Amino acid sequence: MKHLGTVQLVTERLILRRFNISDTQAIFDNWAKDDEVTKYLMWSAHTSIEVTKSLQERRMEHYINDKFYQWAIILKENGDAPIGIISMVDMEEEFDMMQIGYTIGRKWWNQGITSEAFKEVIRFLIEEVGVKRIESRHDPRNPNSGKVMLKCGLQYEGTLRKADRNNQGICDTSVYGLLAEDYYKGLMKIVKKDPNHSDSILLMEELSETLAKITGDSGEKSFDPKDVCVPHSLFVVAYDREEKVVGCGAFRPINEDVAEVKRMFSKEKSKGVGGKILSYLEKEAYNMGYSKLWLETRIINERAVEFYKKRGYHQISNYGKYVENEKAICFEKIIKI
């Protein structure tokens, strides 16, 4: 793992940041003094603001450690006062594993806030820190906590009997886990689409703008939507967990053995999307009976050139309309699934 510590994270509704000593009163008022909030937790409700202040002072000292992960949950519309906490409560570096716990004030229950915060923490820990397993636990008598875990992609792995202790005494503990490999598998879905669908058009417009900035040519003249609406052709759109478009790709027939990859695009910060789309296209082309894929990009588009080389494509003589185009570079891949 590459430890980064408690860096600020932002979602649509939330800011996850380090606690400040000035948060003490809000922590006490919003959740720490509430017996109902702490009912199934391992620490008792604070009996005075002095208890909260003492814990806050100790917490501040830990932020110098890049292995310390503890965020204040800030609801943007509520100002800068924290309404809850989400943190790493245990870590096994041998397995690149972190256990996450969370608490939120009763006023903000059942609004999807905890799951929104947890999803962003999961993204950060897996994609940026390199955690291979996220784990979380709850008392079976507190099923809503388990619902949050399931909503965030964790799988129920079983209940350990009389294996933990909280404010109710010795208790059972239900264990949930998410592996990084499963996180990435579920990160996006690829769907066959009409190239004239609004999502397809949106992505291709963004692709054209991107290509124009890099190469001076949008590539629009080299693509006719009708070419991927014929038999043995395909156009796909990729969506993330939130159903937002993150990429697209297509292929059209050249002859019985060869299809041409077109309109490959992944939005900025969409890690791994391009590779997944290309792999999907390769599999579908193989299933349609093609043995080769051809494609063209511009020499100046170094990122694209390296992308295809890393995925087994080798340079061939320019074909078709690109034969005399000195700015173009063409590639081929023999499909073997």
Degrees, nearest 5: CA angle 202-204-209: 100
Q: Hey, which residues does 155 pair with through a beta bridge?
A: 177
Using the 3D structure, point to which of 168, 185, 202 is the last residue of a domain.
185
Angle at 200 between CA 198 and CA 205, to 5 degrees: 95
- Answer for the pair 36, 109: CB distance below 8 angstroms, yes or no: no
pLDDT in tens, 189-232: 899 999 999 999 999 999 999 999 988 888 888 899 999 999 99
Q: Are 20 and 146 within one domain?
A: yes
Q: How far is CA 208 from CA 89, 215, 229, 262, 298, in A?
A: 46, 10, 20, 12, 13
Is 114 within the bounds of a domain?
Answer: yes
Q: In terms of Cα–Cα distance, which of 283, 271, 299 is closest to 123?
A: 271
Residues 42 and 62 placed together within one structural domain of the fold: yes
- pLDDT truncated to tens, each residue of the chain (337 aa)? 999 999 999 998 999 999 999 999 999 999 999 999 999 999 999 999 999 999 999 999 999 999 999 999 999 999 999 999 999 999 999 999 999 999 999 999 999 999 999 999 999 999 899 999 999 999 999 999 999 999 999 999 999 999 999 999 999 999 999 999 888 877 788 999 999 999 999 999 999 999 999 888 888 888 999 999 999 999 999 998 778 899 999 999 999 999 999 999 998 655 678 888 999 999 999 999 999 999 999 999 999 999 999 999 999 999 999 999 999 999 999 998 6
Q: What are phi and psi of 257, to 5 degrees?
A: -100, -20
Looking at residue 57, what is its pLDDT? 95
Do 268 and 174 lie in one domain? The reply is: no
- Same domain, yes or no: 202 and 170: no
Q: Which long-range contacts (CB under 8 A, 24 or more apart) does 123-126 make?
A: 124/7, 124/9, 125/69, 125/88, 125/98, 126/180, 126/183, 126/184
Structure tokens at 314: 């080798």
Report d(CA 147, CA 62) in Å as an integer.
30
Assess whether 138 and 39 both reside in one domain. yes
**Would 4 be classed as within a structural domain?**
no
Same domain, 195 and 150: no
Among candidates 253, 260, 263, which has minimal Cα distance to 316?
260
Q: How much is the pTM?
A: 0.65
Give the structural domain span for 39.
9-185
CA distance 116 to 164: 27
Domain with 311 in it: what CATH number?
3.40.630.30
Residue 3 inside a domain? The answer is no
Q: How far apart are CA 274 and CA 282, in angstroms?
A: 12
pLDDT computed for residue 186 by the predictor = 73
Only one residue has tokens 């190239």, namely 195
Dump pLDDT digits (tens) for 286-317.
999 999 999 999 999 999 999 999 999 999 99
Which of these three, 185, 200, 234, is where a domain ends?
Answer: 185
Q: Is residue 299 domain-resident?
A: yes
In terms of domains, do 158 and 194 share one? no
Helix and strand numbers (H, E) in the chain are 8, 15
C-beta atoms surrounding 333 within 10 Å: 20
Last residue of one domain, picked from the residues 185, 206, 232: 185
Nearest to 84 by CA among 58, 57, 60, 112: 112
Closest CA to 113 of 16, 198, 218: 16
My answer on whether 17 and 140 are in the same domain is yes
Whether residue 98 is contained in a domain is answered as: yes
Element (H, E) at 310: helix 302-310
Q: How far apart are CA 205 and CA 46, in angstroms?
A: 55
Structure tokens at 329: 């570079």
Quick one: 222 and 249 in the same domain?
yes
What burial class does residue 306 get, using C-beta atoms within 10 Å of its C-beta: 0-12 exposed, 13-18 middle, 19+ buried? Answer: exposed
Does 248 map to a domain? Answer: yes
Evaluate whether 330 touches 315 at the Cβ level (below 8 Å): yes
Residues 135 and 31 in one domain: yes
**Contacts of residue 110, Cβ cutoff 8 Å, sequence gap at least 6:** 144
Does 1 map to a domain? no
- For residue 268, what pLDDT is reported? 66
Identify the pLDDT of residue 269.
Answer: 54
- Residue 289 CB-half CA count within 13 A: 8
270: nearest Cα among 284, 249, 286: 249
Same structural domain, 201 and 140: no
State the total domains in the chain.
Answer: 2
Asked whether residue 74 is assigned to any structural domain, the reply reads yes
Strand bridging mode 292-298 / 258-266: parallel
Asked whether residue 179 falls in the same domain as residue 215, the answer is: no
